[in-house]
């Protein structure tokens, strides 16, 4: 054996999303890209907003532009810009001292978990969940546990309460959710905050609520993502600009610690250190400067909403069962016949690529990423129809 046994095991369990992406490449080479309908990867296809390019060009042409080291937490003026925006979004006064710029949401989650987890501490995620969460917890000695959601993928507080043990350190939520597109209501988040307060007293330790929010601005039908800071004191919000500004390859995001958190200063200092010793050191300097000028900006969300309606209407006509997504750009239908892996293979036979729900801790469902052109959705419908007809 040339690599660690743990990594060898992880490779064998590697993400279904990437597997399907690779399968798509094979099918496209065999049948032609225009004949394969790939819904496997949540890779936004929209170009960034026009003012992104404008700000980028102006910044690059600034004769005073430098590329020196900065504070581990990021440029102070960028953090202030983010904090000013968060003050409105979170309905809580936030300063630059509570904001840390990170290498995307993934970097944010890792520095947070590095800071708060001791070996054996447990992280509770809501199933279905983003598959990388288990790896992130393991990176820092943690153990991922899951709590089931309700049938419509909303928070199941009883399941969360049952999952809490004396080792629980973090409850991790993702709203709007990948893979379901569900958005958790303000009332349910307040009830969750109350639950974690009570459970924290029972086990005599702080339980942190971490919210992973890269899809916060991608919401539909008038839905709003509630403020988390007003629901529970011991909260940390993390996000990236990957989805709302359509720059996933730039790996830029931030995290914010609730100003009311009891150990706020310890958290911020620990996260700043973790940012350095995990090797991130700083979020990318150029992208920090850009994002500092683009707070609140996003791509045209109505494009995703139109695609969502087109996909949902088409699949409904075919006979699929699903909860319409309130946000993000994913649909999580029930797999006809109940076996999600078998059904996804059936879709492959029709040159339609989706991801089994088992890869997200949601067996019996499959994920469709609709960050694709309308033609892809329209032209895939005959394949979706032929696939479901095989299970009738």
Rounded-to-integer distance, Cα 272 and Cα 147, Å: 30
> 31-40, 312-321, 333-342: lowest mean pLDDT where?
31-40
Given a cut of 80, is residue 1 above it in pLDDT?
no
Largest interatomic CA distance in the chain: 66
Given a cut of 70, is residue 58 above it in pLDDT?
yes
CB-side neighbour CA atoms (13 Å) of 114: 20
What's the average model confidence in pLDDT over 130-155? Answer: 96
What's the average model confidence in pLDDT over 365-390? Answer: 97
pLDDT at 15: 62
Rounded-to-integer distance, Cα 98 and Cα 233, Å: 13
Residue 386 pairs in a beta bridge with none
Q: Which residues contact 94 (CB under 8 A, 6 or more apart)?
A: 83, 84, 86, 87, 229, 256, 259
Given a cut of 80, is residue 296 above it in pLDDT?
yes
What's the average model confidence in pLDDT over 127-143? Answer: 96
237-288 tens-digit pLDDT? 999 999 999 999 999 999 999 999 999 999 999 999 999 999 999 999 999 9
Architecture of the CATH domain 5-48+299-389: Alpha-Beta Complex (3.90)
Q: Quick one: pLDDT band at residue 14, thresholds 50, 70, 90?
A: low
Given a cut of 70, is residue 7 above it in pLDDT?
yes
Given a cut of 90, is residue 73 above it in pLDDT?
yes
Q: Quick one: pLDDT band at residue 24, thresholds 50, 70, 90?
A: confident
What's the average model confidence in pLDDT over 181-193? Answer: 98
What's the average model confidence in pLDDT over 346-356? Answer: 95
Rounded-to-integer distance, Cα 280 and Cα 275, Å: 5
What's the average model confidence in pLDDT over 316-325? Answer: 98
Contact 164, 203 (CB under 8 A): yes
Q: Where are the domains of the chain?
A: 5-48+299-389, 51-291
What's the average model confidence in pLDDT over 18-41? Answer: 83
pLDDT at 343: 97
The CATH number given to 51-291 is 3.40.640.10
pLDDT at 10: 76
Given a cut of 70, is residue 12 above it in pLDDT?
no
Q: Quick one: pLDDT band at residue 338, thresholds 50, 70, 90?
A: very high
Q: Provide the mean pLDDT of the chain.
A: 95
Compute the chain's Rg from CA coordinates. Answer: 21
Q: What is the DSSP letter of 226?
A: P
Phi/psi of residue 367, each to 5°?
-105, 135
Predicted model pTM? 0.95
Given a cut of 90, is residue 2 above it in pLDDT?
no
């Amino acid at each position: 054996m040339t690599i660690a046994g743990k990594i060898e095991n992880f490779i064998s369990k590697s993400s279904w999303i990437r597997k399907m992406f690779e399968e798509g490449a094979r099918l496209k080479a065999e049948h032609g890209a225009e004949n394969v309908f790939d819904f496997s990867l949540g890779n936004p296809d929209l170009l960034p907003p026009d003012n992104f390019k404008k700000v980028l060009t102006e910044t690059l042409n600034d004769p005073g532009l430098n590329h020196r080291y900065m504070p581990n937490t990021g440029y102070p003026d960028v953090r202030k810009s983010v904090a000013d925006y968060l003050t409105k979004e979170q309905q809580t006064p936030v300063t630059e001292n509570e904001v840390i710029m990170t290498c995307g949401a993934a970097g944010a989650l890792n520095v947070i978990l590095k800071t708060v987890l001791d070996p054996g501490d447990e992280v509770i995620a809501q199933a279905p969940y983003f598959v990388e969460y288990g790896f992130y917890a393991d990176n820092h000695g943690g153990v991922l546990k899951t709590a089931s959601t309700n049938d419509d993928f909303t928070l199941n507080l009883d399941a969360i309460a049952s999952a809490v043990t004396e080792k629980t350190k973090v409850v991790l939520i993702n709203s709007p959710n990948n893979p379901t597109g569900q958005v958790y209501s303000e009332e349910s988040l307040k009830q969750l905050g109350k639950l974690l307060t009570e459970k924290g007293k029972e086990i005599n330790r702080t339980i942190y609520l971490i919210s992973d929010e890269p899809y916060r601005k991608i919401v539909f039908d008038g839905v709003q993502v509630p403020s988390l800071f007003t629901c529970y004191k011991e909260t940390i919000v993390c996000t990236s600009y990957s989805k709302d500004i359509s720059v996933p390859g730039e790996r830029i995001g931030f995290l914010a610690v609730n100003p009311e958190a009891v150990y706020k200063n310890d958290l911020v200092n620990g996260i700043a250190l973790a940012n350095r010793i995990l090797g991130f050191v700083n979020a990318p300097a150029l992208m920090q400067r850009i994002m500092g000028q683009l707070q609140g900006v996003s791509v045209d969300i109505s494009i995703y909403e139109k695609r969502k309606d087109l996909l949902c209407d088409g699949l409904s006509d075919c006979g699929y069962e699903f909860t319409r997504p309130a946000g993000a750009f994913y649909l999580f239908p029930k797999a006809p016949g109940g076996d999600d892996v078998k059904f996804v293979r059936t879709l492959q036979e029709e040159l339609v690529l989706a991801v089994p729900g088992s890869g997200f801790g949601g067996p019996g469902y499959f994920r469709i990423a609709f960050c694709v052109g309308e033609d892809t959705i329209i032209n895939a419908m005959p394949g979706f129809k032929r696939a479901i007809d095989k299970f009738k």
